[in-house]
Amino acid sequence: QQNNFLLSVTHELKTPIATIRLIGETILKRSLPQEKQHELLGTILENTTRLQDMTENMLTAMQMENNRYTIKKEAIDLSGLVNEVKQSFSLKNPIFGNIESDIAFFGDPILLKMTLNNLIENAIKYSDNQPVELNLSVKDRFITIEVKDSGAGIEPEFRKKVFRKFYRIQDEETRETKGSGLGLFIVKQAVEKHKGKIYISENQPKGSVFTVVLDLGV
Ligand code: ADP
């Protein structure tokens, strides 16, 4: 798995870097119409975001692994944070669902954002860009965040394993999808640092549901 990881990371770094370089060269060499330039710059931005997300994931995973990540908790407007993340995806992919307003939580905003980003990225990635459902609600002491997709789903035997570091399901779909196997490792660590729980279930009629439960009482 370590070897697979190195291979996929190298590939994942090389592709966006090569794309950015090629676009840079093209823009330098040719006098393109402004509209085309705009489009190419958009692709550069997309690729730098990918690189940034990836390096952030790797750094956080390393820190978590060495117990070097110091959690910085503060009073958060969780409804606002979830809406913000939802908004950041809206250009790329439609996200529907119900985000209850005025839910406050004492937690680490960076880790919580990373958790949502990773779950939503996966939901989009493993469902061929179909719309994703994102729900936030609170009942008594418990906050529930759900990310639902309509992809191929995750068989029960893999529902624990996918949270391991570097673990990727060895099926065709995963092989064809870019990834390093770090996302869900980070998600699980982040949720546990908030003394929360995460589990996977089946979506209807197909796909996966990732449910994060946070306790307001701890
Ligand atoms: P990756 O970088 O491979 O996406 P993750 O740690 O985020 O790594 O996920 C681990 C594995 O779990 C993935 O490689 C994939 O096989 C599976 N997986 C994660 N999310 C989903 C999903 N929403 N639907 C189906 N499979 C998923």
What's the CA-to-centroid distance between 103 and ligand 1, angstroms? 28
With bands split at pLDDT 50, 70 and 90, how would you rate the model's confidence at 1? low
DSSP, collapsed to helix, strand or coil, labels residue 135 as strand
Give percent of the chain with pLDDT exceeding 70: 98
What's the CA-to-centroid distance between 59 and ligand 1, angstroms? 19
The two tokens of residue 33 are 């119409």
Q: Is the pLDDT of residue 81 over 80?
A: yes
With bands split at pLDDT 50, 70 and 90, how would you rate the model's confidence at 2? low
123 lines ligand 1 (CB under 6 A): yes
Mean pLDDT for the stretch of residues 94-98:
96
122 lines ligand 1 (CB under 6 A): yes
151 lines ligand 1 (CB under 6 A): yes
The per-residue DSSP string of 65-101 comes to HTT-PPP--EEEEHHHHHHHHHHHHTTTS-EES-B-S
With bands split at pLDDT 50, 70 and 90, how would you rate the model's confidence at 218? confident
165 lines ligand 1 (CB under 6 A): no
pLDDT tens digits, one per residue of 61-78: 888 888 888 999 999 999
207 lines ligand 1 (CB under 6 A): no
> Alpha carbon of 81 to those of 65, 194, 212: distances in Å?
26, 16, 15
Atom of ligand 1 nearest to the CA of 123: 23
For atom 16 of ligand 1, the residue with the nearest CA is 169
For atom 11 of ligand 1, the residue with the nearest CA is 168
Name, of 6-10, 85-89, 104-108, the range with top average pLDDT.
104-108
Q: Is the pLDDT of residue 200 over 90?
A: yes
What's the CA-to-centroid distance between 184 and ligand 1, angstroms? 7
Of 4-13, 45-54, 153-162, the poorest mean pLDDT is in: 4-13
pLDDT tens digits, one per residue of 133-173: 999 999 999 999 999 999 999 999 999 999 998 899 988 88
Strand duo 132-139 + 95-96: pairing: parallel
For atom 21 of ligand 1, the residue with the nearest CA is 122
183 lines ligand 1 (CB under 6 A): yes
What's the CA-to-centroid distance between 29 and ligand 1, angstroms? 40
The two tokens of residue 110 are 């960076």
The H-assigned helical ranges of the chain are: 2-29, 34-65, 78-89, 109-125, 172-176, 183-193
pLDDT for position 61? 86
Q: Is the pLDDT of residue 29 over 80?
A: yes
